[in-house]
Amino acid sequence: MTSLKWTRKTTRKISRELSRVGVHVSRTTVARLLTDLEYSLRVNHKKLAGAKHPQRNAQFEYISTLRQQCERTGTPWISVDSKKKELVGRFKNPGAVWSAAPRLVKDHDFRSEANGMAIPWGLFDGQALRGHLFVGTSHDTPTFAVTALARWWDTAGRSRYPAATALLILADGGGSNGSRCRAWRYELQHQMCNRFGLAVTVCHCPPGTSKWNPIEHRLFSEVSKHWAGEPLESYEKILNFIRTTRTDTGLTVTADLLDGEFPTGIKIPDEQMAQLSIRPYEVCPSWNYTISPALEM
């Protein structure tokens, strides 16, 4: 006997190896004995967290405090992020659906055979239990993210919160709305604060904690479950799946195609950053800041 507590061998191979040492049992008996010993086929579980940032708990406590303040005062708060990009075409989509026959899809996920790339960027309105996804066709850039945010506020947000003069945004630490992204702050100043007269407060999640951003488990997971097993053959089909996502707790979702080119590699020089009306907070200042309306330069 060894201390081996797991094996990648099939029950058939285990049966053959046992036969070589004089123990003759069938593979079904091996499977039964393993089950009796409380062994089963298992998959990897993402449970081992990386090193915790020393300010991680302080940041989440601060975010919780600001959310409670918003709910008491009626100030809108939203959670934003980019969802996984999807190839548009007859490609395999993980999951299963009830059907009389399997759907035939391409045997390889080649970008060259796709009708395009769907780039979903979304926001979750926690007080109204509403989600909105903008599906881009170009690149996931800060300009794309803030353009989507500004369109939501212009078409839905300010009519839902007509008296609002401030907005709280919960965002991830990286990506197009990352804490170190200059273009994200620059676009917020011009497209949101100056245009609509809003004071926008942004709180970023600490590194490695994006799964606790509310949009991940309140919106994105529900959309993924809704279209699981369905090839995303067109942008219209993607938008339709998003728009028909519902939950028993009352979540409803809207979606729009945000077409157009959003080039990458745009740099914001120091002179333009110095003109931003931005105030960092004492608690985790690199993750928490408010951008106020200012006169366009």
In terms of DSSP H, where are the helices of the chain?
A: 11-20, 27-36, 56-73, 142-152, 158-160, 182-187, 194-196, 214-215, 221-226, 235-243, 270-274
Predicted confidence at residue 3, as pLDDT, reads 62
Predicted confidence at residue 193, as pLDDT, reads 98
Predicted confidence at residue 145, as pLDDT, reads 98
Predicted confidence at residue 106, as pLDDT, reads 96
Predicted confidence at residue 136, as pLDDT, reads 97
Tell me the domains of the chain and their CATH numbers.
11-42 (no CATH), 56-95+111-291 (3.30.420.10)
What would the two tokens of residue 135 be?
Answer: 């599906």
Predicted confidence at residue 84, as pLDDT, reads 96
Predicted confidence at residue 81, as pLDDT, reads 97
Q: At what angle do helices 11-20 and 27-36 cross, to 10 degrees?
A: 100
Predicted confidence at residue 50, as pLDDT, reads 66
What would the two tokens of residue 197 be?
Answer: 């007269």
Predicted confidence at residue 216, as pLDDT, reads 96
Q: What is the pTM of this model?
A: 0.85
The CA-atom distances, in angstroms, between 251 and each of 146, 175, 248 are 23, 26, 7
DSSP letter at 210 equals: G
**Grouped pLDDT means (10 residues each) for the chain, 297 residues:** 69 91 92 89 76 87 96 96 97 92 93 96 96 97 98 97 97 94 97 97 93 95 96 97 96 96 95 96 95 79
